[in-house]
Structure 1
Amino acid sequence: MRSRSAMAALAVGVTLALAACGSSDTTGNTTGKSTPAPATAGPKGSPVKLMSIVPLTTPTTNFPEQAGAAKAAVRALNKRGGINGHLVQIDVCDSKNDQAAGEACARKAVNGKYLAVVSAFSTAGGINAILEKGGIPSIGSSGVAGDGSDLTSKISFVYQPASTYSEAACPQLLKDSAKISKLGVVNYDIAAASRLGVLAGLGGKAAGVGTQEIKVAPTTSDYAPIVARVTDAGAQGVTTGLAEPSAISLIQAGGDKLSYCNAAGTISDANLVKLGPAAKNFYAVGAFPLFNQSAKYPELTRLQSELDADFAAGDKDAAKKLRHVTSTIGGWLAVQIVEQVGKKVTGDLTAKSLLAQLTKTKGLNVQLVPPLDFTKTNAVPGLTRLFNNTLLGQRWDPAKKTFYATGKTYDGQKILAAGAK
């Protein structure tokens, strides 16, 4: 399993030197050209194209399931007749988490007159500047671009706040669920991680929880001394911006005498299983409900049935073992937004007309996040294109080897505002 901590990826500055751009058809096969998704209905309009830009071939951070979810959503959309009679095609372009590769994908989208980019992920940056010049909307990016453009570009529509607000929400979650009064904040001793400590400090102030920041070298392997510093400071819990191997080492050193909180996906379920009882006090904040909450969120049932159908049709990226709450739901929702907003477009369905319709859309109900209002930008500086501030609390259950919802919901924007007073 790969680390899915966007903050950790930003902190350690993971990039690759190779630049390449491939595509994938709706059956998950790598190709060099667009391939339309099969349709049982018969759309009459000319096809429109979507692109998912995600890393697929890095040593650490790959998201085939995010692209898989988008492909499954497109297959189902075409079975419903497409968008206003237009068949939808989807390509997957490998960003390699590298700026040159991501920019190559963006140029392909512009030159190919794609309708939109859906569920992009790249910590390297550079993608949005090209899309902005081409007037192509980016819907549902992970919000982690190193240049900040995911959260500021006028063509970007982000609804995943966990990687942005997690350290701000963790103090309140651990206070509510683990009754802590002081929190250790363990981050890498590099400039890129400095904002994480600031967020945790604001969240701690808002929650009435003391915070003690401890910075470590990225090469640190022995976390026993770090845990000792945390406990010596009187902290009962920890939040981090560490990469997955480092976060695992910290939990192994601290065991169940501490509580832990991170953005959902910081540590994979497989590695939490390996941690055993040491992870019994592991909490997370996520943007989306858990797959086991389908009774409360019926759309989760439709999502998984569409993935099952796409997997049965031959797309290995839709496999159950790959599905992850954050990346899978995020990729699937992007296509739902394209469908709902695209159907409101009058006249030609183009990137320009879709972008214009997006910017005047409010009350958009995709059910797995609160209704979205794209007419109002976020009030937090640097987060203007983040349109969802809601975070959901989760706790790991070692016995059942899964997360369950704590029932607590947090508003990241309100936490930061309260902490800044």
Structure 2
Amino acid sequence: MTGRRRSSPRPFSHAPAVAIASAVACTAVIASLLSGCGSLPGSGDPGEKEPVTVMTWAPEGTKATNMPGMPAMAQAYARWVNSRGGIRGHRLRVLTCNERNDTVAAAQCAQRAVDRGAVAVVGSYSQFGRSFMSPLEVKGVPFIGGYGASDEEFESPLSYPVNGGQASLLAGNGRQLAGNCTRVALVRPDTISGDQMPSLLNSGLHNGHRRSAEDIKAPEDGTDYTPQVTAALDRVGADPAVHGTAANGGKAPGSCVTAMLGDHTDAFFDSFRRLQEDSPRVHVASVLGSVSQSLVNRTGGRSGPLEGAYLTGWYPVASDPRWQPMRKVINDFAFGDNRIDPADQGVQTTWIAYTVLRALIEQLDDAGVEEITPHALQTTLDDGERAIGTGGLTPKLRWRETDMLAVQNFPRIVNGMVTYQVVRDGELVAAQDGFVNVTRTLERRDTDGEG
């Protein structure tokens, strides 16, 4: 059954009043009772359009990976567009939900979105796609621009990803390391999601004619990774010539360790630093999301273990001027919310996802559609009459069947681009200009099993 055949209820016309991010307080006492705060949807001026309600969820305050910046970015975005009169006159209402890194909580967030009339879930993070996609599919609510942490985001006809998810990051990291490392160890979480990582990384390594990485499992919520560091160093060996070509003027490649443990990657590199102090250097690597500029700063900057690290991301480096519109919105409308780090890939993904939502609403308005429903959004996404630009942060995006890449197991990927970055003098910088297309690498991984 295709997504576009699903019908959806009229959005939230009888939804209960809830506390939402886009609520605007009165700034003055108005003597006349003809207008005021707290009016019901559609009860303003004669020309006022129905508000658009969406939801953004992410885990916060858990022992594993947390993404509090994603709902915070969504709230700032709503304040920004509403300060400008909304999106073509539609005020944006953002519901948020703590997904708690829990399968039950993920399903509850999705059901809450449906119950409260959300026309889409936008820019959210969850590993539990099987739990959250079902309630959305039942009501035909599209999932736009998720983080890409679950398989279902690249399988469900109601999902519209803006990046290539974990698959593209790992394949890209493998290709990046293939040019700099002869031996690689992968330290990854001992989870269902983690079980996919070795073959994805190996697809990139094999593309560069390197052998498969040593696979080292680790607890997702660990605080001391000494056993995993020891195992990684033992398996790849310690080559005194190992410093990588990008960081040391072209010396021969050698041993590398890449760690992808989300929020707990910092604990891994802390253990790594302590164990490698008296041994020859082994180069380190990771992906954006597991490593950030704030982590580089916390671990010692240019004198820390991440100096020279090879990193793969989805988007341009955080200092790229293409992020300036997002930074201005954060500066002007986040009101000092320290949950929002403009260099965080979750925050960046949320910005891009809401950019897509805004373009969709504008397309519907241009077509004379006044009521923004889940079905209207889904139909516009599936038809893809106009490609959606993101200011150069991604390629232009469409989700027609002809736009889907031929990546088995990930049939909804439409963007197979990644970027290569490196930590140089304590700063995350671009390792090369432009995007790297890993689509063919992913395709070969599917054809050849492990790469």
TM-score, normalized by length of structure 2?
0.76
Structure 1 position 23, deviation (Å): 6.1
Counterpart of 1:316, as a letter, is: D
Provide closer, same or farther for how the CA distance between residues 187 and 350 of structure 1 changes in structure 2, counting only shifts above 3 A: closer
2:283 counterpart (231, 255, 259):
259
Provide closer, same or farther for how the CA distance between residues 103 and 190 of structure 1 changes in structure 2, counting only shifts above 3 A: closer
Q: Are positions 1:305 and 2:311 aligned together?
A: no
Aligned counterparts of 2:325 and 2:188: Cα–Cα separation in 1? 39
Per the alignment, residue 403 of structure 1 pairs with 428
Structure 1 position 344, deviation (Å): 1.2
Range with bigger deviation, 203-212 or 264-273: 264-273
Per the alignment, residue 139 of structure 2 pairs with 134
Higher helix share: 1
Aligned counterparts of 2:363 and 2:394: Cα–Cα separation in 1? 20
Counterpart of 1:264, as a letter, is: L
**Count of residues paired in the alignment:** 379
Aligned counterparts of 2:189 and 2:388: Cα–Cα separation in 1? 38
Residues 79-128 of structure 1 deviation map (CA, whole Å, 9 limit, x = unaligned): 33323321111111111121211211111211222121111111133111
Provide closer, same or farther for how the CA distance between residues 317 and 130 of structure 1 changes in structure 2, counting only shifts above 3 A: farther
Q: Does the CA-based 8 Å contact 1:308-1:318 persist in structure 2?
A: no
User: What percent identity do the matched residue pairs reach?
Assistant: 20
Provide closer, same or farther for how the CA distance between residues 190 and 134 of structure 1 changes in structure 2, counting only shifts above 3 A: closer
Aligned counterparts of 1:96 and 1:285: Cα–Cα separation in 2? 26
Superposition RMSD on alpha carbons, in Å?
3.0
Aligned counterparts of 1:28 and 1:270: Cα–Cα separation in 2? 33
Aligned counterparts of 2:218 and 2:69: Cα–Cα separation in 1? 32
Per the alignment, residue 412 of structure 2 pairs with 385
Gap runs ≥5 in structure 1? 1-21
Matched residue SS, 1:316: coil
1:316 counterpart (318, 326, 337):
337
Q: Are positions 1:123 and 2:127 aligned together?
A: yes
Matched residue SS, 1:292: coil
Q: Does the CA-based 8 Å contact 2:238-2:281 persist in structure 1?
A: no
Q: Does the CA-based 8 Å contact 1:162-1:264 persist in structure 2?
A: no
Q: Are positions 1:372 and 2:397 aligned together?
A: yes
Provide closer, same or farther for how the CA distance between residues 350 and 206 of structure 1 changes in structure 2, counting only shifts above 3 A: same
Q: Does the CA-based 8 Å contact 1:333-1:366 persist in structure 2?
A: yes
Aligned counterparts of 2:333 and 2:217: Cα–Cα separation in 1? 44
Structure 1 position 394, deviation (Å): 0.8
Matched residue SS, 2:185: strand
2:174 counterpart (168, 171, 176):
171
Provide closer, same or farther for how the CA distance between residues 96 and 24 of structure 1 changes in structure 2, counting only shifts above 3 A: farther
Provide closer, same or farther for how the CA distance between residues 73 and 129 of structure 1 changes in structure 2, counting only shifts above 3 A: same
Alignment of 1:3-152 (within 5 A): 24-26=20-22, 44-125=48-129, 126-145=131-150, 148-152=151-155
2:439 counterpart (399, 402, 413):
413
Aligned counterparts of 2:320 and 2:46: Cα–Cα separation in 1? 35
Aligned counterparts of 1:164 and 1:190: Cα–Cα separation in 2? 15
Per the alignment, residue 356 of structure 1 pairs with 379
Provide closer, same or farther for how the CA distance between residues 82 and 131 of structure 1 changes in structure 2, counting only shifts above 3 A: same
Gap runs ≥5 in structure 2? 1-17, 26-37, 243-253
Aligned counterparts of 1:60 and 1:141: Cα–Cα separation in 2? 18
1:227 counterpart (225, 233, 258):
233
1:160 counterpart (159, 163, 170):
163
Structure 1 position 332, deviation (Å): 1.1
Range with bigger deviation, 330-339 or 180-189: 180-189
TM-score, normalized by length of structure 1?
0.81
Counterpart of 2:334, as a letter, is: F
Matched residue SS, 2:412: coil
Aligned counterparts of 2:352 and 2:202: Cα–Cα separation in 1? 32
Residues 337-377 of structure 1 deviation map (CA, whole Å, 9 limit, x = unaligned): 11101111232211110111011125211121111121122
Range with bigger deviation, 134-143 or 236-245: 236-245
Q: Does the CA-based 8 Å contact 1:286-1:393 persist in structure 2?
A: yes
1:236 counterpart (255, 258, 261):
255
Per the alignment, residue 318 of structure 2 pairs with 291
Q: Does the CA-based 8 Å contact 2:214-2:235 persist in structure 1?
A: no
Per the alignment, residue 271 of structure 2 pairs with 249
Aligned counterparts of 2:291 and 2:440: Cα–Cα separation in 1? 26
Q: Does the CA-based 8 Å contact 1:199-1:416 persist in structure 2?
A: yes
